[in-house]
Structure 1
Amino acid sequence: MFVAILLSAALCAIALPSIFILIRESTKIHRQGIVKDLIKVFERYGNPGSSTIPSFEFVKYKYFVNNGSADQEGRRRDDFRIHHWILSAFPLVAITFVLNSLCLAIVIHVALRRSITVDVAWLDGRSPLPLFGWVLLASYVGAILFLLKSFVQAINNFDLSPFSMVGASVNLIFSVVAGLLFIFGVVRIPAAAFGIETTGAAAFPLTIVAAFTAGYFPDVAVRNVMRWSNLRLRKAEDERVYKGFKAIPLEIIDGIDSEIRSRLEDYHISAVQNLAAANPLMLFVETPYGVYQIMDWVAQAQLCASVGPSALAKLWRIGIRTIFDLERVALDQCCYAPALLETIGAVIWKGPEVSLSKYPIVPDLDAIRADIRFRLENPHVLRLRQVFNQVSDTIGADARRLSPIVDCEPSTGRVCPFARPAAAA
């Protein structure tokens, strides 16, 4: 039994980093193909070398890192070698092997009521498992689930590296220790000091859940330990900040629901500001969504991040959905209308902060246009505009407007696309 436990633990420990390293290489090859297709599109319809898109160059630099290759300036850009992965994964394999063996022995002891041939009293089949064993098992389950999730996110973002393996080893130890520290240092000791029962039927499930949570969120557990210990000379956090500033959820963007939000969270996009500053071409390569859909989402997010969710809903009613719709109304003479601009200014400026100041609720048109101009000067807005212009150029000028409908005489034999026959005399 003991040998079988060791073999199973070793197999799982070796398979954990190996599978993710292989998936990383497969993902790199797949996304390199997508980037090559994008290169063909931009070079086909544009002037290669005449206009460089930094956001696209970042995508190419991220994924075209091959052994022995060099960039345009002659600098070698090598990907990680196999010995880098082996050396960095060794601590993770060793730690998971030890913890796998211990937790697998605990599971067999609890589930099968079988003794393990080791000199540990509480692994005897007739002995009850102490609370330490339950807390260790729950903390390790939470820690390993967090590790798997972080590896999946690293694959999605293509930032899995040998250092990720070293960091995972540290986080795994930290999570297990944080779970034990949280339960026995924060829950058990104060409860014993104040005579609170923590071993009853009702307290045991809460203890297991708390241990799992501490293993999954070790930083939260350690933060609570430090806060409740009242350590001197420690800078405390102002909790009023969390109440005054709140993150805007992604569901406010037209086209994003809870399922899409959960997918985007794998790419560290959990709020509107994250989406507003995201690289649209990078998202197209790394997510299953279309490039036009992503550009629309990012443009909506940039408008929301600029004017706020309340003003965003009001601007929708007058057809202003994205940051570039706002730019057209303010700066494009073809779309300029004083009444429309005053309405936009009233939506953006109206609020308690402005109404109580010396400025009027609705400023003049020059102030509104100046306000919109500086909202458009953020680097992520400039980047998105460059991508929009490049994509518009690839589509062509014939897509700017619909062709006019002209009368067409059937007897002439002319080819009249998008035309209707002339009315009979």
Structure 2
Amino acid sequence: MGAFSEKLRGSVVGVVGVCVFVGFAVVLGVAAFWGLGSNTPLIFPICASLFLAVVTPMTVIAVRHQVRLSRIKLIDIFAKTFGLSTRPLLPLDGAAAPDLTDPKTNVSFEFVKGKYYVDLDLKGGEEPKLEDLPRFPMMLHADWMLLLCALPFMGFSAFGVFILFAPAAAILTPGGSINAWLWPSMLALGGLPSATIANAAGAAAQHLNVLTVASVAFAGAYFYCLRLLLRAVASFDLSPVTFLRAFAHMVMATTLAVVIYRVFPSAEGVTATAREFYQALSGGTVDAATAVPDAAGGVKSFWLILSFALGFVPEAAIQYALQKAGFRFKARYDEVETHARTIPVTILDGVDSPTAFRLEESNVFEVQNLATLNPIMLHIESPFGIYQTIDWVAQAQLCTVVGPERFLHLKMLNIRTIFDLERATLSEFGVDELKNAVGVILAEDCARDQACRKAFGLPSPAASTAWPANAVAHHVRIMVDDLHVHRLRQIWLLIARQLGEEHDHLKDTAPPPPRAPT
């Protein structure tokens, strides 16, 4: 009865807290509407700012809670299927720490549990029960901390969305509802000649141009932050720092766009790449003589494109501003990037373009990301089965250590995963013919290696058709002596144990220990 009363009290507090917060936001919107003269055209900007700046972040927090519940259920199903324990690994309230040698304890599974259990209000060392978890959002301290740290993001977003959708006439008209309090700032007019500032028409035109650039840059930054929040929810990485980072991103991107526009209001300061991009979009050329804004002209279409891009990718704005300012920092060694290209995950069996797009939600953008991923985590956070994720990670590990060319060549021998390579070269049941064939592939000189040696002036290797059997075994042993491979092997053995004794041969994945020197 006590537990039920506590849950009921938590539910009431959560619902009341959300209602109070939403009501306060609505009151602010109504107060803003009255304070700006109760003009009907302002209803849509105010509603849009409340929806995009308040409702959207709260929806993201609510979705995060639902994602936690659904994935904890998957964790419980996985634990029951493979005989694992859902008890927290770290002792709580003086409870005895679990034995790491217990078959019910798996290190990879403990990382998954810790990610979803760490901020739950668990008491004691007992296994958490699904019925004890809060069913509604805003019933945990973690949710309220997210909402508290989202306040700066909400405030700046509300102001930016309002200016973005506010009627231009209300901003331009002297003494209007918005123009009365939105005075030109030092950021907008600072540094201009006194005569220009004294000219009401010229100052108003310059102010409107700066507001336009800032609004479009804010739109790009907001969409970037929205994508950031959705990706963080999908991978359950949403934290208070995420909202603070999004707030800092919008402020920095908007300010930088305005600064660059103030420095280069025409196309004179545009790089050749940006100029070509503009020409490709407009089908014309950038005329610097006609691109300068004045009292009769506005922001040219080039800046509408560039300001949105600078808001969406603020790093480009920083590099652009530093470059034009003449600052020189430690140069990047860009020559190596040509020979260190990323390998797409579509090279793996079973991964097509839609699947690769879905894997990006788990922060998997290339083969190396997948090779180091916890397959249990990927199974819990995606619709893919545990056997499928294990197969993908095993393929990715083989592709990472041998390279894409040799990986495709090894597949011709039906060696698809890192464990296939182990059994082909390190197993006591291996045959010399297969080892020799693997040695030929590992020793082959692919086009990527040749280009890399030529670019950096490295000598060519000695001509050899294959490695000897002991060299092949030693080389493969170095490849598989990796923490990520050992973790995957532990999960492999866990599943092999559950499949039954008739599948004991699957447990022969660990390489034999190296021989002692004689």
Tell me which residue corresponds to 2:484: 380
Cα offset for 1:117? 2.6
Following superposition, the deviation at residue 114 of structure 1 comes to 10
Paired residue for 1:199?
Answer: 291
| 2:178 paired with 1:118 | yes
Q: Structure 1 residue 198: deviation in Å?
A: 6.3
Identity of aligned residues (%): 26
Q: Counterpart of 1:52 in 2: which secondary structure?
A: coil
Between the aligned partners of 1:274 and 1:71, the Cα distance in structure 2 is 36
**Matched residue type, 2:248:** V
Of 81, 86, 97, the match for 1:41: 81
Higher relative contact order, chain-length normalized (CA < 8 Å, sep 6+): 1
Deviations 1:232-276 (A, max 9, x none): 4x2121221222211111111111111111111122110110000
Residue of structure 2 in register with 1:59 after alignment: 112
Q: How does 1:225-304 map to 2 (within 5 A)?
A: 225-232=321-328, 234-304=329-399
Which secondary structure state, in structure 2, belongs to the residue aligned with residue 289 of structure 1? coil
In the alignment, does 2:40 pair up with 1:28? no
1:137 aligns with 2:198: no
Alignment-derived partner of residue 213 in structure 1: 309
Measured in 2, the distance between the counterparts of 1:204 and 1:138 equals 13
Change in Cα spacing, 1:81 to 1:270, as seen in structure 2 (3 Å) is: closer
Report if aligned partners of 2:84, 2:103 keep a CA contact under 8 Å in 1: no
Tell me the secondary structure at the aligned position of residue 142 of structure 1. helix
Say whether residues 1:109 and 2:168 are aligned partners.
yes
Q: Is residue 97 from structure 1 mapped to residue 155 from structure 2 by the alignment?
A: no
> 1:271 is aligned with what amino acid?
E
Per the normalisation by structure 1, the TM-score is: 0.81
Alpha-carbon displacement from aligned partner over 1:38-65 (angstroms, at most 9, x marks no partner):
11012179x9933632111100111123
Partners of 1:73 and 1:368 in 2: CA distance: 49
- Residue number in structure 2 paired with 1:86: 147
Deviations 1:364-413 (A, max 9, x none): 11001000001001111111111111111112233569xxxxxxxxxxxx
Shift of 1:103: 0.9
CA distance in 2 between counterparts of 1:85 and 1:51 reads 34
Q: Structure 2: which amino acid aligns with 1:237?
A: R
Is 2:442 the counterpart of 1:348? yes
**Do the aligned partners of residues 395 and 87 (structure 1) sit closer, same or farther apart at CA in structure 2, a change above 3 Å counting?**
same
CA contact 1:157–1:267 (8 Å) conserved in 2: yes
1:163-182 alignment, distance < 5 Å: 163-182=241-260
Alignment partners' CA distance in 1, 2:317 and 2:124? 45
Instruction: Note if contact 1:65-1:79 (Cα within 8 Å) is conserved in structure 2.
Output: no
Are the equivalent residues in 2 in contact too, given 1:139–1:211 (CA < 8 A)? yes
- The Cα of 1:72 is off from its aligned counterpart by 4.6
| Contact 1:178/1:221 (8 A) holds in 2 | yes
Which blocks of at least 5 consecutive residues in structure 1 are unaligned? 402-425
Q: Do the aligned residues in 2 keep the contact of 1:355 with 1:361 (CA within 8 Å)?
A: no
Letter aligned with residue 494 of structure 2: Q
What is the rounded CA distance, in whole Å, between the counterparts of 2:482 and 2:501 in structure 1? 28
Structure 2 unaligned regions, length at least 5: 1-38, 86-99, 128-138, 185-203, 271-285, 506-518
Are residues 39 and 188 of structure 1, via their aligned partners in 2, closer, same or farther at CA, if it must alter by over 3 Å? same
SS of residue matched to 1:63? helix
Amino acid at match of 1:24: R
